Structure 1
Amino acid sequence: MATNEPPRRADSLRIRVKLLAEARHLLESAGLPVQYNDLARRAGVGVGTVYRHFPTSRSLLEAMAAEPFRELLDLARASIDEPDPWEAVERVLRAQVRLEIEHAGVREVLATTADEHPDTAAMKAELDQITDGLLSRARRAGRVRDDVEAADLRLLVCGVGYAARIAYGTPADLYLRVLIDGLRRAPGE
């Protein structure tokens, strides 16, 4: 069974939804990796059921990140129509950091290149393609430096998301502002 595709039977779908909800709770409280025995106990199922739905920890993580990732892609798609190219870039960066802070596991999926499910790889490729387009527009407008590509930016923003999650009391906006300022084309370039 593909990791991001819902099961066909109603009871299997209910179990999957319960597993994802409990996995999110475990991820928030205990961090990575989500222990399948703990997940099975919390969801009231056998560990074999967990493995049937999510054969690997990575497949579970990708499934947990799928919905927030789709939200990020929707916002990125909408940013294509933003008249100000710099605003479009900032909007996507802010959305990614917000989702990484609000949804544990999103950063780990965005930061790696080894995806188990083709949908995850396709979403990353689309995000990079949109971001490359936004960066190209901003470059033509003289607003962003020439040496940063979408994949670089995705990883840099993952770093901001990580720092914001572990820096107690420091607002994520400070770290994001430093990154954004570093992306701007310096006067005279």
Structure 2
Amino acid sequence: MPSSRVSEPPRRADSLRIRARLLDEARVMLAEGGVPLQLNDLARRAGVGVGTVYRHFATSQALVEALAVLRFEGLLEVARRAADEPDPWVGIEAVLREQVRLEMEYAEVREVLATTYDTHPETSAAKAELMGITEGLLVAARAAGVVRADLGASDLRRLMCGIGYAVTISDGGNPALGELYLRVLCDGIRVTRT
């Protein structure tokens, strides 16, 4: 029975080198034109046969998820630390800030967080963990009276994806816009006591 881990890293040294080259070229392609990545174009750019690409990545989505995995793990580490933060607002802001940074710098993160369909169970599990941590932070923040009561984790995820997209379509992906949009979002969801 075939494994469900379509993009599990190969074990042979030459296969590892080819996989690394495919990922490097795919990163460039993603930055140049977004998704879906055309696997035939990737094969041509990497100087390998199309069958080689499909052996490593069955679909464009599988390839994008493979690109995002390391970046996404970093986001989860920030979220896990944020969950231990005594001040829930500080925790929420840390997660939001890291997500905006990653979405501005890495199109693959933006794409994986924006989609509702995942190729790999590991991607789904990581996204579910992030949603769970975010919801926990929101529950604590609502209990402390520092965040809007009508805001859920999925609302926040969609708003963050909107910021990532808005920055990328701006003139040159200006990082200052990411900071501005994040401040506007934070001002909009935060409840200030008078």
Structure 1 residues 46, 91: closer, same or farther in 2, change over 3 A? same
Corresponding residue number in structure 2 for 1:132:
135
Corresponding residue number in structure 2 for 1:29:
32
Q: Find the aligned partners of 1:12 and 1:74 in 2 and give their Cα distance.
A: 29
Question: Structure 2 length as normaliser, TM-score?
Answer: 0.91
Structure 1 residues 77, 64: closer, same or farther in 2, change over 3 A? same
Corresponding residue number in structure 1 for 2:45:
42
Q: Find the aligned partners of 1:140 and 1:171 in 2 and give their Cα distance.
A: 31
Segment of structure 1 superposing worse, 91-100 or 105-114: 105-114
Q: Find the aligned partners of 1:114 and 1:167 in 2 and give their Cα distance.
A: 27
Q: CA deviation at 1:4?
A: 4.6
Q: Is the 1:97–1:160 Cα contact (8 Å) retained in structure 2?
A: yes
- Residue of structure 2 aligned with 1:145, choices 128, 143, 148: 148
1:67-88 residue CA offsets vs partner (Å, 9 max, x unmatched): 1111100110111122211010
Q: CA deviation at 1:53?
A: 0.8
Gaps of 5+ in 1: none
State yes or no: 1:177 paired with 2:180.
no
Corresponding residue number in structure 1 for 2:125:
122
State yes or no: 1:52 paired with 2:55.
yes
Q: Find the aligned partners of 2:45 and 2:77 in 1 and give their Cα distance.
A: 32
| Percent of pairs with identical residues | 62
Corresponding residue number in structure 2 for 1:79:
82
User: Which 4+ stretches in 1 moved above 4 angstroms?
Assistant: none
Q: Is the 2:36–2:61 Cα contact (8 Å) retained in structure 1?
A: no
Instruction: Quote the RMSD (CA, aligned, Å).
Output: 1.5
1:91-150 residue CA offsets vs partner (Å, 9 max, x unmatched): 000100100111112112111211110000000000000011111111111100111111
Aligned length in residues: 188
